Structures are given as structure tokens and as C-alpha cells.
């Protein structure tokens, strides 16, 4: 039998508790009916119009994304605006939209731990801790490699294991890398945590020119593996997580991963 939207939401929140979400974030069910019967789910990094069109074509009832469709406060819903057009399409086609953002980044088993596994980082700890009633959780991870490698070797490893065509690297390419700090998405604000933790290199996305200069002054290597590259890796894991649950609970719901390439940047050679 089909499963109601609120039951899928409840299972998502076992992995990524709503309480982990930050005050400035917008997570949970953003568009739709929590009691809606769901037959097919589509997982994507963003609910772009292209992804919504994919959902319509595949007769999807629920889109689960990492980035919230509604992030900043909106004062109107107009069909002649990009966000308004997306909301119109979702409602017209009876598609609900749910987001797990900072709560999924922070979660044990969430985005940052998946990134650490992809990048061969072991014995991980939280990079930027937050505390709540005795529980320690937070952004990013810090850990070690099994064997030291040069920055050049590790940069190539990161690029290949994230399926990227290119990355940007800051630092001496022949420097030995043993301790790695990382944060999915845009995590340069935690660069000082990486330095304090004794990391040789910090892997994140959206690194700016002056941040790179500051890292050089602090003797920290950087790898910019892009916002998209460090986060899109969570989609296959979420798909597997929901498929296993559906099979175990005998729920007749199809779980699909989006086929849309959401990377907005292209490298011209």
C-alpha cells in the first residue's frame, strides 16, 4: 500500500532530526499536504523548475531536497517569478516538497559523514561542535587518512572520488597530508576550526580569493571541491536509506534519484 507523506517525513527525521536545523534555515515540509498518499518520491539537491518538470514527467508525489525551495522570506507567490512558478507547478500537479538541509549536514550518518567516507577520512570527529542538553553534534568533520599522501595526490583523489572534472587547490602540492578537515557545501567559516584541530588540509566549497590568502598565512592547505560536488553525494545514500525502509516496512512506494545535473558551473578549456 502507499504511504502517507507524514510517515516518510517521520522516517527522514530519524536520520536528520528537525532539532538539528539552525534557526536561519528552513526545513521540513515546505509545500504540500502531510496526509497526502505518496506513491513515488524523487530525491534531488534542489527543487529547480527542471527537477519539478522531471517529477511531473515521472508522476512523482513528493520531492525531497537538500536545499530548501523556500529559503528567504517571500511576500508574494507570483507565477512570473522563478520561485512562484515552481510553487505553482508543485501545487498544480499535487507534488509535495520537503527539505532536509542543516539538519542533514549535522546528522550522524548525514552529508558530512558521507563526504568523509568518500574522501577516505577515518576516525572522524565533529569539526565545529554545537551542544544541546549534553549531546555534542555540529558542522563538518575532522579525521585522518590511512597513509600520508601529497596534496597533489590527495587533490586528484578528491576530484576522482567526487566525480568532478576539476578542483581548486591552495598550498604546496608536495606537502604531506595526513589529517583532513572537511565541510560539505559552503564551509569556509569553519576554517579556523580546521587550523585549531591541526588539519593539514581543509576540503569544502565556495572558497573565495581572500580566504585562500588567509589559509596560506595560517599554513593550511585548501581543496575547493565545489558546493555541488561536496553535497550531491548525499542523494544516492538518501535513496538507499528510504528504499531499505520501504522494503522493510512493506510500503509500496518508488524511490527515485533525480537524473538532472544540478551543477550550474561549467569549465571552458
pLDDT in tens, 66-100: 999 998 888 899 999 999 999 999 999 999 999 99
Residue-level pLDDT at 82? 93
Q: pLDDT of 13-60, one tens digit each?
A: 999 999 999 999 999 999 999 999 999 999 999 999 999 999 999 999
Answer whether residue 268 is part of any domain. Answer: no
Strands 40-44 and 254-257: parallel
User: In angstroms, rounded to a whole number, what is the distance separating the alpha carbons of residues 127 and 135?
Assistant: 15
**Separation of CA 121 from chain center:** 17
User: Do 46 and 128 share a domain, yes or no?
Assistant: no
Residue-level pLDDT at 134? 75
User: Do 120 and 214 share a domain, yes or no?
Assistant: yes
**Separation of CA 158 from chain center:** 16
Q: What is the pTM of this model?
A: 0.95
Q: Do residues 55 and 22 make contact, with C-beta atoms less than 8 angstroms apart?
A: no
DSSP β-bridge partners for residue 126: 141
Q: pLDDT of 167-216, one tens digit each?
A: 999 999 999 999 999 999 999 999 999 999 999 999 999 999 999 999 99
User: Do 126 and 94 share a domain, yes or no?
Assistant: no
How many domains does the chain contain in total?
Answer: 2
Is residue 1's pLDDT more than 80?
no
Answer whether residue 204 is part of any domain. Answer: yes
Answer whether residue 235 is part of any domain. Answer: yes
Answer whether residue 264 is part of any domain. Answer: no
Q: Return the DSSP state at 206.
A: -
Helix (H, G, I), strand (E, B) or coil at 156: helix
User: Do 71 and 166 share a domain, yes or no?
Assistant: no
Answer whether residue 42 is part of any domain. Answer: yes
User: Do 124 and 17 share a domain, yes or no?
Assistant: no
Residue-level pLDDT at 135? 80
Share of the chain above pLDDT 70, in %: 100
Answer whether residue 269 is part of any domain. Answer: no
Answer whether residue 46 is part of any domain. Answer: yes
N residues, the chain? 269
Q: Return the DSSP state at 96.
A: E
**Separation of CA 57 from chain center:** 25
Place of cell 558551473: 265
What is the domain range of residue 94?
A: 3-104+231-257
Q: How confident is the model at residue 133 (pLDDT cuts 50, 70, 90)?
A: confident
User: Do 83 and 149 share a domain, yes or no?
Assistant: no
Kindly report the CATH number assigned to the domain that includes residue 75. 3.40.1390.30
Answer whether residue 157 is part of any domain. Answer: yes
Place of cell 527515485: 256
Taking only Cα atoms into account, the Rg of the chain, rounded to an integer number of angstroms, comes to 19
User: Do 159 and 237 share a domain, yes or no?
Assistant: no
**What mean pLDDT is predicted for residues 209-231?**
98
User: Do 124 and 93 share a domain, yes or no?
Assistant: no
Cβ-proximal residues to 170 (8 Å cutoff; 6+ apart), any chain: 207, 212, 215, 216, 221, 222, 223, 224
Residue-level pLDDT at 32? 97
Is residue 234's pLDDT more than 90?
yes
User: In angstroms, rounded to a whole number, what is the distance separating the alpha carbons of residues 51 and 180?
Assistant: 34
Amino acid at each position: 500500500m502507499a504511504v502517507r507523506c507524514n510517515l516518510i517525513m517521520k522516517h527522514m527525521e530519524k536520520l536528520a532530526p528537525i532539532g538539528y536545523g539552525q534557526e536561519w534555515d528552513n526545513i521540513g515540509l515546505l509545500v504540500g499536504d502531510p496526509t497526502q498518499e505518496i506513491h513515488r518520491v524523487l530525491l534531488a539537491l534542489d527543487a529547480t523548475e527542471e527537477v519539478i518538470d522531471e517529477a511531473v514527467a515521472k508522476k512523482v508525489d513528493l520531492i525531497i531536497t537538500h536545499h530548501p525551495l523556500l529559503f528567504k522570506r517571500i511576500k508574494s507567490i507570483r507565477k512570473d517569478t522563478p520561485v512562484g512558478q515552481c510553487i505553482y507547478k508543485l501545487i498544480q500537479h499535487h507534488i509535495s516538497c520537503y527539505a532536509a538541509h542543516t539538519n542533514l549536514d549535522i546528522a550522524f550518518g548525514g552529508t558530512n559523514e558521507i563526504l568523509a567516507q568518500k574522501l577516505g577520512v577515518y576516525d572522524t570527529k565533529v569539526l565545529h561542535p554545537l551542544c544541546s542538553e549534553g549531546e555534542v553534534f555540529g558542522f563538518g568533520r575532522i579525521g585522518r587518512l590511512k597513509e600520508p599522501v601529497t596534496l597533489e595526490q590527495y587533490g586528484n583523489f578528491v576530484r576522482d572520488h567526487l566525480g568532478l572534472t576539476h578542483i581548486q587547490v591552495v598550498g604546496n602540492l608536495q606537502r604531506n597530508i595526513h589529517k583532513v578537515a572537511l565541510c560539505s557545501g559552503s564551509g569556509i567559516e569553519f576554517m579556523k576550526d580546521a587550523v585549531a584541530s591541526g588539519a593539514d588540509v581543509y576540503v569544502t566549497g565556495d572558497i573565495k580569493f581572500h580566504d585562500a590568502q588567509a589559509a596560506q598565512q595560517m599554513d593550511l592547505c585548501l581543496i575547493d571541491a565545489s558546493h555541488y560536488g561536496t553535497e550531491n553525494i548525499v542523494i544516492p545514500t538518501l535513496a538507499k536509506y528510504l528504499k531499505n525502509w520501504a522494503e522493510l516496512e512493506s510500503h509500496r512506494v518508488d524511490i527515485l534519484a533525480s537524473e538532472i545535473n544540478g551543477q550550474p558551473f561549467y569549465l571552458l578549456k
